[in-house]
Structure 1
Amino acid sequence: MGKFNICCGTSALVIAALSSALTASAETPWNLKLSGRLLYDYTQADADTADFEIDDTELRSARLAVSGKTDAMDFKVELETDEGGEIIATDAYADFSQKGTSWKIRVGQFKTPNSLEEQTSGRFTTFAERAEFTDAFEFDRRVGIAAHTKGKDWTFMAGAFGGDLNDTPSEEGFALAARGTYTPIHTDAMLVHLGASVRYREIGDRQSNLRYRQRPFAHLPGRMISTGSIAESDTLIGLEAAVLRGPFWASLEYADVRSDLAAGGTGNFTGSGFETGYFFGGERTYKDAKFDRPKVHHPVTERGLGALSVSVAYDTLDLTDAGVDGGAMSTALIGLSWYPTSKTRVGLSIFQSDANLGTSTSGLDPAFADAVRAGVSDDTVTGATLRLQADF
């Protein structure tokens, strides 16, 4: 596909849309809402072979958002900071309703429509981090425009995107993405979710080639495996399924990426994630094609004990193909979370990441880069992340 400059007018559209939202007439019946979140982590982990050990804390995320809506439009603007102290925009978009139809047009910065777990808010995911392929294949927020709609048992969104609003979106290539979901069973007793998504990306003239890499689960360590910068464009196809039945849930995702390599040829890289769990004193919920805020039947604010969830998960990532030896990784997880209320959580994620380190040292944590140079082919990182979480 040839170059497609989406960003030339998109940044202006973002500013115009948000300006319209924030400077609307005083007679406009805005329903304004202020919200926020705080995620704080403690991680302890070490490697079997590499000189790697971590015992540290991190302000994973602190966000503050304002949103509002009328019959014709709704908007959201959210700012985030982390351990580094830099303030960035995460979501910054407006949705415009189309009269006589169920379609809406979204303009601004928001996530490309890919992956059930990626669309689920980080407040409501099971573990401290999402499945490893979501980070390795760079599911992210971009400046763009998208059309979306939904029915009783289905949803659909498709859009065109430039780069990140916080960088130089007009110089970061472009992406096209779409996602559709269907719930063949959607009753009070049981829900079954099926979905598929696609994304095409192409780099900009001043952008480095695409690369795929991943940490050993936790956010604090550096990367453990990496392909280095290898691709000029790629196409991703994702499949997803989930079931919720009372306090039980399970989900499964698979992602396949075909990369047009700068050196010639096509590389095929894959990832998957499976998780299942059970709530005591509560249940997981679902809304608009993603997991939503959990129910806590007896919160501590009502003299209850809150809710407890236990879960297990297994992720895989393969970054080796067509002469690219980016390594491979599999991560086994055990999770335990206590929810005093539906808006507070203490979560423990115990993990073991087993990796074939590959041959690339590009962008790796220094300990794993040194291990690759020393000829170490395989390594294992075992650890745990404790998360304290609250939102309003």
Structure 2
Amino acid sequence: MRIIGLTLAITAISGSSLSTAAFALDLYVDTRTEQIYAKPGPGRVHLGSFVKEDAAKAAEKSAADTTAATGDNASPKTADIAAGKTNTADLTAVRKEIESKSKIMGERLASDIASLEERVKETENVHIQFTDSAPHFASKDGNFTFAINGRMQAGSQYNFINDVLPATGSNLPNELNSGATLRRARLGVEGTFFKLWDYKFEYDFSRGNGSVASGITDAYTRLNVTKPFSIKVGSFKEPFSLEEAASNRYLTFIERHMSVNSFVDNPNTYKTGIGVNYAVPRFQFGVAFQTEPIGSWSAASTSVNAAGNVNRNNGSGDSSWEGIGRITGRPWMEDETRFLHVGISAGHTAVNTQYNAAGQIATTPSAQGGGGGGMAFFAFPGTNVDRTNMLNTGNLSVGNKGEPGSRRIDSYDRFGAEGWLVHGPFSVQGEYLRTNINGLGYDDEHFTGYYGFASYFLTGESKAYHVKNGAANRIKPRQNFQWNGSGWGAWEVAAGYDYINLNSGIIRGGQADMVRFALNWYPHPNIKIQNNIIHVLNVDTAGSAIPRTAGFHNADLSAFLTQAQVEF
């Protein structure tokens, strides 16, 4: 720095003897080393152009105009040097001035770089991100988010014991069929707007035997009044049952247990209405007022239209409706891997049965009810490809209006109690459910069912808890599976018992019990491979008026099931 300053001074002093013409000297500062240079280069910032006039020309001008700097950064001291009026103090002052300006410009450059980096980060926030392996979009201010979700479940079934009664008359065989299927294929969107509202829409392309409206599952908007408290309107799951509250992505067994399927899932748990939910880590409460499901695929659909409850046109009658709720909590909880969950559910459902002018049920309902009125309850033995109803009450609205012996279901009441203990890799879960039938020709008829199972993670993981749903959540392996053998994912074994009774009073739907065994592999949080063996212990369908149901009396059934799942 001193050499450069001295050179500048010598040049300024002696320049008058070299030429009478004015010349300019451009100076540059290195923002990293703060060195002064006479030539541009990488990392150097231009300080200004400094001019010296010869002595003859300087004499003709006033002292104030003797020297001038054409750059913005020139100073009186610099002008004095250029005019030959210099001393050691002047040189020192110029050097300090240049050093000060170079430091300021260096700090400004660093600030500009930091600001640019911050802008880059802000720009990245509005781009696509992946949360739980799903694409997720968000606005810069966080007011709007948008995410895509989906699942694919491919299953197979092999029946290695299949002893049933032979078919009679023109009926098809009663044996269960082996094969493969795409059990579920769902795609949906969800997100938030203005941070207070969220929404979800999901469609299942394999649901309802291809019926368009039946493919709709979740389709709702929710107002998050506070973090725990929310209100939603649209199509959503009933708040009932521990196993039903859990997504089918997180089930221990491939299919839900018979009583949960019969009393909750088969009537289509996705119904239209308004619901209120409150959820904190140790307590959940949900209530809803709902009507019928959207599509026609359901024993709970009473519309006479082929598309089901999309509308109530053509004399379909009023929609069925229900009030339903569930309260759950964790009275004992050490952490998220050691807790006891308990809960109760209850609901009242009014059923529409529409008659035509001749007193007949408006259309011919299927054996599973629906399609013009009534209701039925049925159960299959936990299989995933051939889900033929082993038990079936048939439509509980029977006969013409006012005829002797006719019956009509007007409503049914459901009750449930649930428990779930998680202690590290070990867990046990169970539920008891009951459904009471009310209506013309019925007197205290009711159905019951219960199940229980235990599971254990061989690799040390624990069951995960979904606070908002008060149910099971996604399993995250301690180590994801790697081809080089450093990680094997999570491995789980489970065994359980399942019972249901659809015989009560004049209703002969049958009763059955069975055992299940499972070996589940979670190579990654978004991938699950399930292997189940089911064995039916006893089936009693004596007295059933439905030929297919009667054909399963005393059946001996065992099957090996698999399911490969990818979800995000």
TM normalised by structure 2 equals 0.60
In the alignment, which residue of structure 1 is the partner of 2:129? Answer: none
Q: Does 1:60 align with 2:187?
A: no
- 1:301 CA displacement: 4.8
Distance 1:48 1:262, change over 3 A: farther
Give percent identity, aligned residues only.
23
In the alignment, which residue of structure 2 is the partner of 1:187? Answer: 334
- Of residues 186, 192, 201, the one that matches 1:77 is 201
For the Cα contact (< 8 Å) 1:337–1:346, is it kept in 2?
yes
- The equivalences for 1:144-223 within 5 A come to 144-166=273-295, 167-168=308-309, 171-188=318-335, 189-206=337-354, 207-219=372-384, 220-223=386-389
In the alignment, which residue of structure 1 is the partner of 2:237? Answer: 111
- The equivalences for 1:99-138 within 5 A come to 102-138=228-264
- 1:26 CA displacement: 11
- The equivalences for 1:320-335 within 5 A come to 320-335=503-518
Larger radius of gyration between Structure 1 and Structure 2: 2
In the alignment, which residue of structure 1 is the partner of 2:28? Answer: none
Aligned-residue CA RMSD (Å):
2.2
CA distance in 1, matches of 2:281, 2:520: 31
SS at match of 2:454: strand
User: Aligned partner of 2:309: which letter?
Assistant: T
CA distance in 2, matches of 1:208, 1:276: 40
Higher RCO (CA < 8 A, seq sep 6+)? 1
- 1:256 CA displacement: 1.1
- 1:148 CA displacement: 1.1
Deviations 1:323-358 (A, max 9, x none): 212110112000011111111111111001231113
SS at match of 2:243: helix
- Of residues 426, 431, 434, the one that matches 1:256 is 434
In the alignment, which residue of structure 2 is the partner of 1:5? Answer: none
- 1:284 CA displacement: 1.6
For the Cα contact (< 8 Å) 1:180–1:196, is it kept in 2?
yes
- Of residues 462, 467, 470, the one that matches 1:283 is 462
Richer in helix (by share): 2
- 1:276 CA displacement: 0.8
SS at match of 2:259: helix
Deviations 1:215-254 (A, max 9, x none): 1211323111111112321101100000111111110100
In the alignment, which residue of structure 1 is the partner of 2:543? Answer: 359
In structure 2, runs of 5+ residues without a counterpart are: 1-138, 166-173, 296-307, 313-317, 355-371, 397-408
SS at match of 1:31: strand
- The equivalences for 1:285-364 within 5 A come to 285-288=464-467, 289-301=470-482, 303-353=486-536, 354-362=538-546
- The equivalences for 1:369-380 within 5 A come to 369=550, 371=551, 377-380=553-556
CA distance in 1, matches of 2:196, 2:146: 14
- 1:72 CA displacement: 1.1
SS at match of 1:187: strand
SS at match of 1:74: strand
CA distance in 2, matches of 1:58, 1:164: 24
User: Aligned partner of 2:252: which letter?
Assistant: T
- 1:102 CA displacement: 4.3
Deviations 1:80-106 (A, max 9, x none): 11184455111011111226x843111
In the alignment, which residue of structure 1 is the partner of 2:452? Answer: 274
CA distance in 2, matches of 1:284, 1:151: 18
- Of residues 395, 404, 416, the one that matches 1:229 is 395
- 1:259 CA displacement: 0.6
SS at match of 2:149: strand
User: Aligned partner of 2:332: which letter?
Assistant: I
In the alignment, which residue of structure 2 is the partner of 1:35? Answer: 149
- 1:62 CA displacement: 0.5
Deviations 1:26-75 (A, max 9, x none): 98821211111000110112432334142111110001111002421111
In structure 1, runs of 5+ residues without a counterpart are: 1-24
CA distance in 2, matches of 1:295, 1:359: 48
CA distance in 2, matches of 1:65, 1:382: 35
Distance 1:284 1:161, change over 3 A: same
Distance 1:186 1:117, change over 3 A: same
CA distance in 2, matches of 1:250, 1:361: 38
SS at match of 1:130: coil
Distance 1:360 1:185, change over 3 A: same
Runs of 4+ off more than 3 Å: 25-28, 83-87, 169-172
CA distance in 2, matches of 1:27, 1:242: 40
For the Cα contact (< 8 Å) 1:54–1:221, is it kept in 2?
no
User: Aligned partner of 2:449: which letter?
Assistant: G
In the alignment, which residue of structure 2 is the partner of 1:13? Answer: none
TM normalised by structure 1 equals 0.86
Number of positions where the alignment pairs a residue of Structure 1 with one of Structure 2? 359
CA distance in 1, matches of 2:513, 2:157: 19
CA distance in 2, matches of 1:361, 1:26: 64
- 1:152 CA displacement: 3.7
CA distance in 1, matches of 2:342, 2:394: 33
Distance 1:361 1:47, change over 3 A: farther
Deviations 1:123-171 (A, max 9, x none): 1001110011111113411001011112341010111101112331655
CA distance in 2, matches of 1:49, 1:72: 56
For the Cα contact (< 8 Å) 1:301–1:341, is it kept in 2?
no
Return 48-57 or 114-123, whichever deviates more: 48-57
